[in-house]
């Protein structure tokens, strides 16, 4: 059948195993080369045999998928709108649309804004979904817009799951605003909901495989016990400063002429 772009008025009763939003960071902390690696990695993962197989094994045998890019609190750019995918042809068509577009870096990093936009997309689905998942990638902490925990908590309370792909790489114009324990930041401040998890990327070579594994887990709705997957922990812990990004921004902004 392939990819079916669903207008909001059509097939409203059709059901998918998961409605998945891919929210992709394009803040200026990443170089143009890294942005291209990111885009190609998503396309390769979406069209991979492993992801297609995960889709076909679902109870309904189809998923709803869309992708947008984000940076500051007001910047959102839809790359591919809501599409129902149920086979290899559909996955390949979606991936081709991802590759056909171009990425341009934007100022600042608002994970809270990305979650807010993703939540809005999931609250206005053109089909029925057993699960609603936000897949968010990024290479730095929130430094613009509302505190990230407020957006996270609102999404989780609405029944959504947020998973994270922290890019713990170096390079780009604004790397000074990043933090060394970004995986822990994502675990403590960004992800949430049942079986939510983080898959860190320490090197861009790992990126395509990390995205592929993440999509397979999200489509299947399970998290295996493997070292590369960090699950959310709801046990008592030492406090973590989820406003670290905003504090770094305030300390550094007078020394630079650009925004991350």
Residue boundaries of the structural domains of the chain: 4-255
Query: How would residue 249 be classed by pLDDT, with cut points 50, 70 and 90?
Result: confident
pLDDT band at 236 (very low <50, low <70, confident <90, very high): low
Structure confidence at residue 245 (pLDDT): 86
Find tokens 């577009």 and name the residue: 101
- The answer to whether the beta carbons of residues 145 and 110 sit under 8 Å apart is yes
Q: Are strands 63-70 and 76-85 parallel, antiparallel or unpaired?
A: antiparallel
**CATH H superfamily, domain 4-255:** von Willebrand factor, type A domain (3.40.50.410)
Q: What is the pLDDT of residue 144?
A: 87
In three state form, how does the secondary structure of 75-136 look? CEEEEEEEEEECCHHHHHHHHHHHHHCCCCCECCCCHHHHHHHHHHHHHCCCCEEEEEEEEE
Tell me how far apart the alpha carbons of residues 132 and 128 are, in angstroms, rounded to a whole number.
10
Chain centroid to CA 18: how far? 14
Least confident residue range of 78-92, 148-162, 169-183: 169-183
Check pLDDT > 70 for residue 19: yes
- Report pLDDT for 1: 47
pLDDT of residue 225: 58
What is the pLDDT at residue 153?
A: 96
């Amino acid at each position: 059948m392939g990819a079916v772009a669903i207008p909001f008025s059509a097939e409203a009763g059709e059901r998918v195993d998961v409605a998945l939003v891919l929210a992709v960071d394009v803040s200026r902390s990443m170089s143009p080369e890294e942005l291209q690696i990111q885009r190609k990695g998503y396309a390769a993962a979406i069209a991979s045999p492993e992801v297609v197989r995960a889709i076909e094994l679902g109870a309904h045998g189809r998923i709803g998928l869309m992708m947008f890019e984000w940076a500051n609190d007001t910047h959102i750019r839809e790359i591919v709108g809501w599409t129902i995918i149920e086979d290899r042809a559909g996955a390949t068509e979606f991936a081709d649309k991802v590759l056909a577009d171009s990425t341009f870096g934007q100022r600042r990093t608002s994970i809270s804004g990305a979650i807010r936009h993703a939540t809005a997309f999931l609250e206005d689905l053109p089909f029925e979904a057993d699960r609603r998942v936000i897949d968010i990638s990024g290479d730095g902490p929130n430094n613009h817009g509302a505190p990230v925990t407020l957006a996270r908590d609102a999404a989780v309370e609405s029944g959504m799951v947020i998973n994270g792909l922290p890019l713990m790489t170096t390079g780009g114009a604004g790397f000074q605003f990043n933090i060394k324990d970004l995986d822990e930041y994502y675990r403590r401040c960004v992800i949430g909901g049942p079986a939510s998890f983080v898959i860190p990327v320490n090197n861009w070579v790992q990126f395509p495989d990390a995205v592929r594994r993440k999509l397979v887990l999200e489509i299947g709705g399970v998290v295996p016990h493997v070292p590369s997957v960090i699950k959310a922990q709801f046990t008592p812990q030492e406090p973590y400063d989820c406003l670290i990004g905003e504090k770094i921004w305030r300390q550094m902004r007078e020394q630079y002429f650009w925004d991350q």
